[in-house]
């Protein structure tokens, strides 16, 4: 059927009082709580309070700006953040993306460095989403325009949380939403083996794509879009997930994270100088 994109409830993924994992369509919804095979970077996605964050490596993490910097739990270990090393990524035109880079106190997590995507994805690429949003609840249905079809199928949200992975495909080329260049996936019934949709708590989670045999961090989950009038605390087939296009912001992220071993004010100043130099270059 044709998609009913009179939807336009843009929904930041951190607004719930409880949080858990990306919602998946497969099975009873409780699976995918250990690393998939092949593993794109499962252990690098952690809990940031009730939401999500991604550990990039070398003491640096990213999350959504609307989540904020703070301690990150990775493999059950809590890593405090360094308040002196927090940078919101700008768009180079006086606006800011919903993307935050911040440093963690040493000792740092014994995890591999993630590869940041350097080229924008294209529609149809297979993706793995990992996040800490609400678990799946009971199956439900909804008729947007009664008594006329279609009737949409979906799920209520639960009240527990677990880091979980799901699958999907890239739907759109990068596009701006909420001052942020983003890529999208749609929650289409049966389209992929573990079709997934981001829900509350998934902000700051990861979207991975495979490129020439290597997994790359291509997106950071930050927004869900629902139908107009959709019942609260639900996900229906046809909803959409947006993720920050990491390739678009790669240079800006590297401007911050290229300072090794974040440990205090001097390194924070160096990171700031790099960022200011980049802005001056853009203006020139």
Domain harbouring 13, CATH code: 2.40.10.10
Distance, first Cα to last Cα, the chain: 50
Residue 263 pLDDT: 45
Whether 152 has a pLDDT exceeding 60, the answer reads yes
Residue 284 pLDDT: 46
CA-closest candidate to residue 59, choices 110, 99, 117, 115: 110
Distance CA 131, CA 223 (A): 12
| Mean pLDDT, range 53-57, rounded to an integer | 97
62 C-beta neighbours (distance < 10 Å), count: 28
Q: Is residue 222 part of a domain?
A: yes
Whether 213 has a pLDDT exceeding 70, the answer reads yes
Residue 279 pLDDT: 54
Q: Is residue 204 part of a domain?
A: yes
Whether 2 has a pLDDT exceeding 60, the answer reads no
Q: Which domain holds residue 152?
A: 9-41+114-248
Q: Is residue 177 part of a domain?
A: yes
Which position has the higher pLDDT, 20 or 166? 166
In this structure, of 84-88, 230-234, 251-255, 258-262, the range with the lowest mean pLDDT score is: 258-262
| pLDDT band at residue 161 using 50, 70 and 90 as cut-offs | confident
| pLDDT band at residue 103 using 50, 70 and 90 as cut-offs | very high
Q: Is residue 85 part of a domain?
A: no
Over pLDDT 70: what percentage of the chain? 83
Q: Is residue 37 part of a domain?
A: yes
In this structure, of 73-77, 236-240, 279-283, the range with the lowest mean pLDDT score is: 279-283
Q: Is residue 281 part of a domain?
A: no
Residue 83 pLDDT: 97
Number of domains in the chain: 1
Inter-residue contact 62 to 220 (CB < 8 Å): yes
Whether 3 has a pLDDT exceeding 50, the answer reads no
The three-state secondary structure class of 65 is coil
Whether 229 has a pLDDT exceeding 80, the answer reads yes
Whether 269 has a pLDDT exceeding 70, the answer reads no
Q: What is the mean pLDDT of the chain?
A: 87
Whether 257 has a pLDDT exceeding 90, the answer reads yes
Whether 173 has a pLDDT exceeding 80, the answer reads yes
pTM comes to 0.85
DSSP secondary structure of 71-97: -EEETTEEE-EEEEEEEEEE-SSS-EE
Q: Is residue 86 part of a domain?
A: no
Q: Is residue 189 part of a domain?
A: yes
């Amino acid at each position: 059927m044709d998609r009913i994109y009179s939807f336009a409830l843009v929904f930041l993924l951190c607004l719930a009082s409880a949080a858990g994992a990306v919602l998946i369509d497969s099975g009873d919804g409780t699976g995918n709580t250990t690393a998939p095979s092949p593993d794109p970077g499962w252990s690098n996605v952690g809990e940031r309070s009730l939401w999500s964050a991604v550990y990039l490596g070398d003491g640096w993490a990213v999350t959504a700006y609307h989540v904020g910097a703070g301690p990150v739990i990775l493999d059950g270990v809590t890593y405090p953040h360094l308040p002196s090393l927090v940078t919101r990524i700008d768009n180079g035109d006086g606006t800011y993306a919903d993307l935050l880079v911040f440093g963690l106190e040493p000792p740092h997590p014994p995890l591999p460095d993630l590869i940041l995507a350097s080229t924008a994805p294209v529609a149809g690429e297979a993706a793995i989403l990992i996040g800490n949003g609400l678990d799946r609840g009971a199956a439900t249905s909804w008729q947007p325009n009664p008594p006329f079809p279609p009737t949409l199928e979906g799920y209520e949200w639960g009240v527990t949380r677990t880091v979980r992975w799901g699958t999907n495909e890239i739907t759109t080329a990068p596009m701006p939403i909420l001052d942020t260049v983003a890529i999208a996936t749609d929650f289409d019934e049966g389209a992929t083996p573990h079709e997934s949709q981001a829900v509350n708590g998934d902000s700051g989670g990861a979207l991975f794509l495979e490129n020439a045999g290597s997994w790359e961090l291509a997106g950071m989950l930050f927004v869900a879009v629902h139908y107009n009038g959709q019942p609260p605390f639900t996900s229906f087939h046809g909803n959409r997930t947006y993720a920050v296009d990491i390739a678009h912001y790669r240079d800006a992220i590297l401007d911050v994270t290229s300072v090794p071993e974040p440990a205090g004010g001097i390194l924070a100043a160096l990171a700031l100088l790099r960022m200011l130099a980049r802005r001056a270059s853009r203006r020139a």
